[in-house]
Amino acid sequence: MKQIYGQSQNGNLKEAAASISNPEALILMTSAENFDKHVNELSEMYKGVPSIGGIGISYAGTSVAETGVTLIGLYGVSACAGAIEELSTMPVKYIKRLTDAINACGAGAGNSACFDFTTGCDGKLVTTLNVELDKRNIPLIGGTVDGPTISVNGNIYKDACAFLIIKNKTGKICAYKENIYLPTGQRFVATKTVPENMTLAEVDGHPAAKFYQEVLGISDEEVATQTFKNPFGRVYGNETYLISIKEINGNALNCYKQVNDMDILTLMELKDYKQIVKDTLDKMQKDLGQVSGIISVNCLFRYLLFQQEGYLNDYFREMNRFNSHAGLVGVGEHYCKQHINQTMCCIAFD
């Protein structure tokens, strides 16, 4: 399996597609302004090729396109694309589309993955997709786009998820998540929440906003940016999944991920992210031997943090160690059974 990608900073899809000939699957990432046009152009340029598309900042190799377009062509794969519609009401109604795609590709454990773009309702979506993916041991990697629409095979959908089932015909596919934060060691309980609004109202019986501010010694104004250094973490078995704080809402905190009553929480702190990135790439190389490519979703907050720290260009150079890394800056990430924040998740393949 391999990928070939192209990019145009000024939003010229034909320029981005110049090196991509006869692909077996396509992933389109572009701006809201050009989304509809690019989806239509793509379906004309590559008739019959399964494709998904999403809106957002994209990257390919060492280059970032904040308003341009990036196109990934996949080779040596069996692939099927589909849409899960009515995300906010009844996504399970469309689960047969996923089942049929998995069966058509012959996807299974070790050599396959599901890559997705969604317009929202992440928790509900991840649960729905794993009705099929979990029992077949197929990992889910993807994220939330920065817009109200996604595309599948030239068709545009709202309130929907675009999924691409990928089977590597010649080797393995491995899934990874990268967390650049570690728990402080303290654990707390979410004692009052409003899950449908992703609101954390009380922690250990105390107003959540006041609790967060007092533990860290910060002001109201610092809360929204402090999450760059100290997000919450939800403890789930041996794993910790990040929860980004959006804003203060009275005495509560609005978050970017659903929190439920009695969730076990911890405060996280930023660690040596440069070393963590190197460690992730080392693990890929150990697992796969020769890494042919990486397709990732990086959280917008990671992107902004790395930009703020002056590390962003070095980050993309490091991630391009194997000369084939591309992906999307998302506003929420999916890793297997979890909707997560402030994380990089990816598939790597040989």
Q: pLDDT tens digits for 274-332?
A: 999 999 999 999 999 999 999 999 999 999 999 999 999 999 999 999 999 999 999 99
Do 266 and 331 sit in the same domain of this protein? no
Do 262 and 343 sit in the same domain of this protein? no
Do 265 and 342 sit in the same domain of this protein? no
Write down the pLDDT at residue 220: 87
Contacts for 112 with CB less than 8 Å, ≥ 6 apart: 102, 105, 138, 165, 166, 167, 168, 173
d(CA 50, CA 68): 22
Quote the Cα angle for 13-18-24, to 5°. Answer: 90
Coil, strand or helix: which one is 130? helix
Burial string for 55-72 (b: 16+ CB within 10 Å, else e) reads bbbbbbbebbbeebbbbb
Do 158 and 307 sit in the same domain of this protein? yes
Tens-digit pLDDT profile for residues 98-137:
999 999 999 999 999 999 999 999 999 999 999 999 999 9
Q: Are 56 and 157 in contact (CB under 8 A)?
A: no
Nearest C-alpha neighbor of 226 from the set 246, 256, 250: 246
Q: Are strands 51-55 and 25-30 parallel, antiparallel or unpaired?
A: parallel
d(CA 113, CA 315): 25
Do 39 and 156 sit in the same domain of this protein? yes
φ, ψ for residue 323, nearest 5 deg: 65, 25
Do 72 and 128 sit in the same domain of this protein? yes
Structure tokens at 242: 């990040």
Task: Please report which confidence band the pLDDT of residue 237 belongs to, taking 50, 70 and 90 as the band edges.
Answer: confident
Query: Alpha helix locations (H) across the chain?
Result: 13-16, 35-45, 95-105, 122-133, 208-216, 223-226, 273-288, 300-308, 312-319
Tens-digit pLDDT profile for residues 141-168:
999 999 999 999 999 999 999 999 999 9
Q: Tell me what the mean pLDDT of segment 82-94 comes to.
A: 97
Do 250 and 160 sit in the same domain of this protein? no
End position of a domain, from candidates 228, 246, 270: 270
Q: Tell me what the mean pLDDT of segment 329-346 comes to.
A: 96
Quick one: CA dihedral 118, 160, 115, 324, positive or negative?
A: negative
Do 6 and 128 sit in the same domain of this protein? yes
End position of a domain, from candidates 270, 298, 332: 270
Q: Tell me what the mean pLDDT of segment 178-202 comes to.
A: 95
Tens-digit pLDDT profile for residues 22-72:
999 999 999 999 999 999 999 999 999 999 999 999 999 999 999 999 999
Do 159 and 290 sit in the same domain of this protein? yes
Task: Indicate the number of domains in the chain.
Answer: 2
Whether the per-residue pLDDT at 81 is higher than 90: the answer is: yes
Burial of 201 (0-12, 13-18, 19+ CB in 10 A): buried
Domain assignment of residue 201, given as a range: 181-270
Do 297 and 213 sit in the same domain of this protein? no
End position of a domain, from candidates 223, 249, 270: 270
Do 46 and 140 sit in the same domain of this protein? yes
Do 198 and 313 sit in the same domain of this protein? no
Q: Are strands 173-178 and 181-194 parallel, antiparallel or unpaired?
A: unpaired
Write down the pLDDT at residue 48: 96
pTM beyond 0.75, yes or no = yes
